[in-house]
Amino acid sequence: MAHAKAAGHLTVPNVQALAQTWNESGEQVPERYVRTEQAGDEEVVVGSEIPVVDLGRLLDPQSSEEELRNLGSACQQGFFQIINHGVPHDVIHDMRRDITEFFKLPLEAKEVYAQLPDSVEGYGQAFVFSETQKLEWADMIYLMVRPAETRNMRFWPAQPPSLRDSVDRYSTEVANVVSCLLRFMAADMGLKQPERLLEMFAGQPQTMRVAYYPPCRQAGKVIGMSPHTDSCALTLLLHVNDVQGLQIRRNDGKWHAVDPLDGAFIISIGDTFEILSNGRYRSIEHRAMVHPDKERISAAMFHLPCPSVTIGPLPELVVGGVRARYKSVGHAEFVERFFATKLDGRRSNLEYYRISNFHLRSKQRK
Ligand code: OGA
Ligand code: NI
């Protein structure tokens, strides 16, 4: 699959195994994991809130219009949580249970699903391109999930035995929530032909990244996931256990810790949607931190357009003198570039496609 290729990416030590012995030792955290940009004194704002979107209210004709305005504003802020999403409790429960069980397996059992060279699919780590690059304090498992024919079961854990079925059921539910959100987002953007947007997501393409962040005695010195924006259109994030660590960078330039409501999913607008919406919706930089004595597990479901789609501002949004703020690019090329670039914060892949002199040019024309 084009979107799993990561030419030249390197394999790295298993962090869960490393943490088990290192946390017991009296040693300093290995140099390769010490983050330079993270002196530990950087200000992090706790207790700030992200918008809450109520899917039940969106679907109820009585409240739909009002909640649609709320959704529109949430998408412009880039990060929000959804409640009343209708995903059955047992589906979420089984997903959480089986993912947690998988990471409890001995290393040899997990490594059956290890990544192969030049692909990020499977158990391992992504975005590592040099022996000197700083590393993240996390392991992950990355899978193609939808459409079903993209699945490579070689990488799908068969332990615990119910995991495949749990992921499948969860994936279906989540993809339906996202399809529903897409319809409302089309309405918020004022699209007269919403089906053109929905067709881009035919077959509900979806990949999954489950991250395991082991505890780290010197948590302030390491990072679980480097600052980045998501490349996809929409991410739906589940906290598999109740340990927080997600932080977003707001317009004030500070990192804000995100603490979701019980039972809510976190939704993030990805680069693809920022481009499709011609900048109306924003893809926000975020990162994941590590806890000093608790493991943290998250499951991100990434929703992408079909591989054949050209990503660019939706034609309906660049009419009547409104200019495209991003270049158009084939989806395969867009994703390949994302995976071939180290995660180095500020919207690096997105900036590449931004028409940088947009403001200047539009001013000159006035
Ligand atoms: C991601 C991501 C955050 C987290 O997988 O893209 O941002 O909290 N994860 O694990
Ligand atoms: Ni992310």
Q: How many angstroms is it from 24 CA to the middle of ligand 1?
A: 27
For 117, the domain range is 15-310
Mean pLDDT of the chain: 90
The structural domain count of the chain equals: 1
Q: Is the residue at 349 inside a domain?
A: no
Q: Is residue 348 part of a domain?
A: no
Q: What is the pTM of this model?
A: 0.93
- Percent over 70 (pLDDT), the chain: 92
Task: Report how far residue 188's alpha carbon sits from residue 53's, in angstroms, rounded to the nearest whole number.
Answer: 13
pLDDT exceeds 80 at position 4 = no
Protein residue whose Cα sits closest to atom 3 of ligand 1: 288
The CATH number linked to 110 is: 2.60.120.330
- Which residues contact ligand 1 via a Cβ below 6 A? 209, 211, 225, 230, 245-246, 286, 288, 298, 300
| Rounded mean pLDDT, 269-273 | 96
Does the residue 350 lie in any domain? Answer: no
Q: How far is the CA of 1 from the centre of ligand 1 (A)?
A: 22
In this model, does residue 5 exceed pLDDT 60? no
Ligand lying nearest the CA atom of residue 287: 1
Residue 320 lies in a domain: no
Give a yes or no: residue 19 inside a domain. Answer: yes
* 333: in domain: no
Residue 8 has pLDDT above 80, yes or no: no
**Best mutation site among 231, 237, 290 for ligand 1, i.e. most ligand atoms within 8 A of its Cβ?**
237
Express each pLDDT in 127-174 by its tens digit: 777 777 889 999 999 999 999 999 999 999 999 999 999 999 999 999
Say which residues have a Cβ less than 8 Å from residue 333's Cβ, sequence separation at least 6: none
The answer, yes or no, to whether residue 360 has pLDDT greater than 60, is no
Residue 212 lies in a domain: yes
Q: Long-range contacts for 25-30 (Cβ within 8 Å, ≥24 apart)?
A: 28/218, 29/216, 29/217, 29/218, 29/221, 29/222
- Whose tokens are 């089984």? That residue is 94
| Nearest alpha-carbon partner for 275 in 337, 220, 340, 212 | 337
* Alpha-carbon gap, residue 239 to 319, rounded angstroms: 40
